[in-house]
Amino acid sequence: MTQFQHTLNSALPSKLTSLLADMGFRSFTPIQEQSLPAIIDGKDILAQAQTGSGKTIAFAIGLLLKINPRYFGVQALVMCPTRELADQVSKEIRKIARFQDNIKVLSLCGGMPFGPQIGSLEHGAHIVVGTPGRLMEHLRKGTLRLNALNTLVLDEADRMLDMGFVDSIREVVELTPANRQTLLFSATYSDTIESLSAEFQNKPVSIKVEAQEDLKPNIEQFFVRSENADKCETLLACLQHFDPRQVIVFCNTKAESQLVADFLSDHKVAAQAINGDLEQRQRDQVLVRFSNQSSCVLVATDVAARGIDVKEVDLVVNYDTTRDTDVHTHRIGRTGRAGAAGTAVNLVTSKDDYKVRDIEERFAISAQYIELDAADPHYRLVPQKTTIAFDAGRKNKLRPGDILGALTAGLGLDKSQVGKIDIFDFHAYVSIDNSVAKSVVKELENKKIKGRNIRARILR
């Protein structure tokens, strides 16, 4: 730990530094080290940093230090471009908030029932994380009030602008106190971001963190020629050639994503589509199954994939190439994370050559085209885990330890047979080894969790 980090650490409450140590923190990342002093000092910041740089932890610490737990009014608001990112940010803030008692974090996103959100707001919340459209709905109905707000965070502001949220952002900001602290985070700087900062911020501290060499993803890119009519077969051949375990396939349209997922499923590949047509609970279940490795292939559009943070992706396939090299960079950045090597494959039609030239220029590479053997009709890509869903969640006081205890101490499973546990408001999910999934569900019919029967079923 550097002397600067030691000084920064000493400025934080001991309970917080102990919690960070328990979470495995050994040192601050560059964005945390550069932004936290200004955030703690109450200054506005305009920060640019790569995905995975630790910015969420930085603003979570800053806003939590200003929360008065005894006042159940909204004191911090985080605006995100998508429901998935909002959910991810909410979870991170809740983790850090454990150093204080009774901090309530509420997620307000479209695609979720409006009524329960109103009920949660009536009970009070300290921190709200949400998407611009749903936040505006609550503000217009008077169910959300921001008169006590002291911290506003615009997370991934560039993507919110790309998605056409600028007017909604303005409407929300106009309903916040003028003396608030505003923290703006963006992966890229543009004239629009600069003007947004000038409009909403007061003498912001500008922070730009260049990608560190040891944090840069190690991604090898390949290119495969394929016309549109043959792409599904080419994709299947690609999966067989690279033999991955976890794959994200990017399509340009919702219709294409569903078509591709259906084709793969028909060919014994465990694939699911995620796009804007899914209800929130369906989206949650798709992401849960992919992140806990009970589904192998996630077929996604760019908007639907925003905010997905799965570290074990070993292959990204651009089924449709994109003309935006920033989007391409973000897509392939889903693999090669946490120091692991990654692979990206681009399916290229005869009309895509100009896109390939842009990619070559951006990454200073020469496109490496490969030939693939035809897919073996007996090829299969199936997961080693199965997801079990429980009809109870956070609102029912169900915790990960309750599920783990029921499966290990209660049913005698070894911990190695139990995978990732995800808890939502009214549902929970756990991945377990395929070999024991059916017997576990059967045995849970006669077992109580926290003193009561909770329905469990295999998630298909």
Query: Is there a contact between 413 and 366 (Cβ–Cβ < 8 Å)?
Result: no
Q: Which amino acid is at 77?
A: L
The 10s digit of each residue's pLDDT in 41-91 is 999 999 987 666 788 999 999 999 999 999 989 999 999 988 888 888 999
Domains 3-208 and 218-363 share a fold: yes
The 10s digit of each residue's pLDDT in 445-460 is 888 898 888 999 999 8
Instruction: Name the superfamily (CATH) of residues 218-363.
Output: P-loop containing nucleotide triphosphate hydrolases (3.40.50.300)
CATH of domain 385-458: 3.30.70.330
The 10s digit of each residue's pLDDT in 271-299 is 999 987 888 788 889 999 999 999 999 99
Give the pLDDT band (50/70/90) at residue 203: very high
Handedness of CA 168, 174, 175, 176 (dihedral sign): positive
> What number is the average pLDDT over the span 308-312?
74
Question: CA–CA separation, 366 vs 368, rounded Å?
Answer: 6
* Domain map (residue ranges) of the chain: 3-208, 218-363, 385-458
Which of 259, 457, 449, 296 is CA-nearest to residue 380? 296
The DSSP bridge partners found for residue 430 are 388, 421
Annotation: CATH topology of 3-208: Rossmann fold (3.40.50)
pTM over 0.75: no
Give the pLDDT band (50/70/90) at residue 215: very low
